[in-house]
Amino acid sequence: MFDTVEIKEVKQHIGLVVKSMRKQRQWTQAAMADSLGVSRLTIQNLESGKNFTIDTLLKVLKAFDLLDAIDQQIMSVQNNVSSTSSLY
């Protein structure tokens, strides 16, 4: 059987990475929330893998200087899709 990645798992992985990076920078949830213009509860939900918006995720990626790397990955996928000819 094929192993599939579930959205819930990815959200949990994102939460763990965010929490680890936040702690590595010695930021509290409140300090991070203030700097991003969101609530502490928003950061808490993100770190626990609960529902969060794409805007929140992008703000966090920018705070960790990862937004450019993610954008490059997305553009790479887009370029691959655009350069693939249709089979139909």
C-alpha closest to that of 21 among 54, 66, 52, 74: 66
Total tally of structural domains belonging to the chain: 1
Structure tokens at 14: 């994102």
Residue 1 resides in a domain: no
Q: Consecutive sets of 10 residues in the chain, 88 residues long: mean pLDDT of each?
A: 88 97 97 97 97 95 96 93 72
Contact 36, 63 (CB under 8 A): yes
Q: Alpha-carbon distance 51 to 26, whole Å?
A: 24
Report the interhelical angle of 29-36 vs 40-47 (nearest 10°): 110
Question: For the domain that residue 29 is a member of, what is the CATH number?
Answer: 1.10.260.40
Residue 37 resides in a domain: yes
What 3-state DSSP class applies to 34? helix
Residue 88 resides in a domain: no
pTM above 0.85, yes or no: no
